[in-house]
Structure 1
Amino acid sequence: MHVIDWAIAQQDPAIGITPQFARHLGPVGSELSERVSAAIRAYPCDVLFVHRDSESESLEKRQSEIASAFTELTHSYVPIIPMRMTEAWLLSDEHAIRSAAGNPNGRTGLGIPGKREWERTKNPKQILFDALKAASERNARALKKFSPDRQRLRVAELTTDFSGLRGLASFDQFEATLKSKLFGEK
């Protein structure tokens, strides 16, 4: 939601939005078309944002899957497809990572690869978790009580500028589609 809110504000800060996170859309593993229909029924909206991590699939394959889910619907949608997994999009703000780890002024290296690697790395979640642990600067005993999984959610909340993601194919595609859907531009 934070990435979506930020991206919309970048297009036009005056756009009034009421974001809703669609939950309880059927059992895990149900068809995407069923979840999309359930989301539209339960959460009426002008534009539905559909998130699918690419995982091991190509951006194009995931776009096709999402488009197929809308073949019988006339609803407007914007696909959000981070390469591999969403955590790749959370590597852009070192200060947010440090703050989420509870140590905003820390100086320890976080081991985050360069931007060109974020969409290529096989496990961005592990890179983010390792960065959160390093950023905490806690000793081994204290790290046993530290939950990088919980803190990962804070990274998105604490990131105030996602422009560091520009130049990543998946993010650029998201922004272009968003602009097209909001303003009819290509």
Structure 2
Amino acid sequence: MTRQLAAVAAEADRPNMIFVHRDADREGPTARRTEIAVAAAENSVLEPVVPVIPVRHLEAWLLLSEGEIRRAVGRPRGSVPLSLPSLREIEEKDCKTILRRALVEAGETSGRRRQKASTDAAFSAYRKVLLERLDIDGPVRELPSWRALEADIRTAVSRLMSA
């Protein structure tokens, strides 16, 4: 992250705002915010830096729509139970593992097709589709990590407007 911020700071045509994504993982969101702020200060980044910090994994935001998971794998009418966590408990779970399992289950395949669906490449492709389809006005707005992101964006925009 420090290297990327240094590269942005060195550009002649600098952006108005910088978004830095870091999963909170075990360190927690507060430690990640500090890490991002320190890296920005060390690299003399003057633009507003918006931390994008899902509580554990970005995949927490993608587990909120069973229908989108089924559509991403091409089985919108699938019926296999996906056992997704509730909105209330989602940020406490290992969402990357849960999403990986849910995508394979939602595909309702077996044998080689199931094996192919469980590869890292397939997971990355499905995750990209889910990110593109994320309903930013949907249930994700109930998650504390999403509300923090929205607040950080508002703060950064206010800072830009007052400059």
Aligned counterparts of 1:84 and 1:105: Cα–Cα separation in 2:
30
| TM-score normalised by L of structure 1 | 0.74
Shift of 1:40: 4.2
Match for residue 152 of structure 2? 177
Shift of 1:158: 2.6
Please tell me whether residue 135 in structure 1 is matched to residue 106 in structure 2. yes
CA contact (8 A) 2:16 2:47 kept: yes
Match for residue 50 of structure 2? 78
Q: Which runs of 5+ in 1 are unaligned?
A: 1-31
Shift of 1:162: 4.9
Larger proportion of helix:
2
Shift of 1:75: 1.4
Match for residue 163 of structure 1? 138
Match for residue 23 of structure 2? 53
Q: RMSD of aligned C-alpha atoms? A: 2.0
Please give the per-residue CA displacement for 1:97-119, whole angstroms capped at 9, x wherever unaligned.
11111111212211111112221
- Indicate the percent of aligned positions where both proteins have the same amino acid: 33
Q: How many residues align?
A: 153
Deviates more, 1:62-71 or 1:152-161: 152-161
Shift of 1:138: 1.3
Match for residue 144 of structure 1? 115
| TM-score normalised by L of structure 2 | 0.84
Aligned counterparts of 1:102 and 1:40: Cα–Cα separation in 2:
42
Please give the per-residue CA displacement for 1:126-162, whole angstroms capped at 9, x wherever unaligned.
1001111111111244201223343222111233445
